C-alpha cells in the first residue's frame, strides 16, 4: 500500500510540474510570436505587432517539448501501475500530452 501512495505522489508531482510548465508557456506565448491575421486587424483598426522575440520563441518551444516529455513519462508510469495495481488512470496526463504535442508541432512547423 505504501508503494502505491508513493507512486501517486510521484504522479502528482509530474502532473503539477507539467501543468506548471504549460501555464508558464502560455504566459510567454504572446511575446514569442507575431500577429498572424494582419488584414483582419487592420480592417478592425487594431494595432499590429510585426516583430517578436526569437529567443523567447525558442524558449517556448523547449518548454512545450519538456511538457510533452514529462507527460509522456507520467503516462508511461500511470499505464504500468494501472495494469499492475488497483489504481486507475489519470485523465489529466493524456490531456497534457495531447495539448503539448499539438502545441509543439504547431510551433515547430508553423511559427
SS3 87: coil
Per-residue pLDDT, averaged over 9-18, amounts to 86
* Cα distance between residue 47 and residue 6, in whole Å: 52
C-alpha cell read off for 61: 518551444
Query: Is pLDDT larger for residue 110 or for residue 97?
Result: 97
Q: Are 96 and 18 in contact (CB under 8 A)?
A: yes
Query: Is pLDDT larger for residue 85 or for residue 24?
Result: 24
Q: What is the pTM of this model?
A: 0.73
Domain boundaries in the chain? Answer: 1-110
Task: Give the pLDDT confidence score for residue 33 in this predicted structure.
Answer: 66
Backbone angles phi, psi at 69, to 5 degrees: -65, -45
- Torsion sign, CA atoms 39, 41, 45, 49: negative
Q: Are 7 and 86 in contact (CB under 8 A)?
A: no
Amino acid at each position: 500500500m505504501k508503494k502505491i501512495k508513493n507512486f501517486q505522489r510521484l504522479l502528482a508531482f509530474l502532473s503539477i510540474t507539467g501543468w506548471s510548465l504549460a501555464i508558464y508557456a502560455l504566459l510567454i506565448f504572446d511575446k514569442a510570436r507575431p500577429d498572424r491575421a494582419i488584414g483582419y486587424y487592420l480592417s478592425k483598426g487594431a494595432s499590429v505587432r510585426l516583430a517578436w522575440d526569437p529567443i523567447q520563441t525558442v524558449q517556448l518551444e523547449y518548454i512545450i517539448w519538456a511538457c510533452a516529455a514529462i507527460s509522456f513519462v507520467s503516462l508511461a508510469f500511470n499505464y504500468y501501475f494501472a495494469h499492475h495495481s488497483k489504481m486507475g488512470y489519470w485523465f489529466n496526463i493524456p490531456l497534457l500530452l495531447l495539448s503539448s504535442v499539438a502545441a509543439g508541432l504547431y510551433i515547430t512547423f508553423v511559427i
